[in-house]
Amino acid sequence: MLTVEQIQQHFIEQLNGAIRRPGMYGRDEDGLGNAMRNVTYVMETGDERGWINALEARGAWSSIGVTGMVRQLMPGTEQNAAASVYADYAHEHGWLVLDRTLTAEEYGVVRDRFAQWCAVDRSRGDVVERFGEPSVRTTSSGDGVLGYGRPGEPIVWFHCGDDEVVLAGRCGGLFVESLRFTPEGTRRRPAEEDDS
């Protein structure tokens, strides 16, 4: 019979897999939601709604989940961007396994410079060349999100389109307010609808 710790570890591994390859776990964010629901159930004494409340409080949840919020800002990147939001929650709870843990100095450089760095159009290759291999990468096709982090600190994310162009960076705080769009990311944003 499996121990509680073995069951918890199994679900944590599934969540980490879904974050890194969300397209392999279902359409939109179904697989991510199921993986998060399972982890929060076994790790947080059966509370299956706490993580949704936390994402709502950050402004990262809509009536159709995180993908609905992202679709309004960066269409075509919904699944990977949603995975990065789920990763933030997992990271805060110690469930996200980082592929590379940044030193305090490396993290400070990324966090202090990401907003300024997004003022100019960049490629995914530019990000890796400047900041090194990411701590976590979400990808389901050509697009993806590169995350740079260390324990106890919010992850710095670079959201890329399917052509490897960086669309935005973000770190901590409320989802929409934390986004720093590149010039290309701004050009690709959908036009605001007129409610009149």
Q: What is the mean pLDDT of each run of 10 residues along the chain (196 residues)?
A: 92 96 84 91 76 88 85 82 94 96 98 95 95 91 85 96 92 91 93 57
- Whole-number Å distance between alpha carbons of 115 and 112: 8
Give the model's pLDDT for residue 196.
Answer: 47
The pLDDT score that the predictor gives to residue 102 is 98
Q: For residue 94, which amino acid is it? A: G
pLDDT at res. 49: 76
pLDDT at 45: 63
Q: Cα 102–121–129 angle (5° rounding)?
A: 35
Residue 115: phi and psi, rounded to 5, are -65, -45
Per-residue pLDDT, 143: 65
pLDDT at 141: 59
With the CA atoms of 36, 40, 46 and 51 taken in that order, what torsion angle do they form, in degrees rounded to the nearest 10? -80
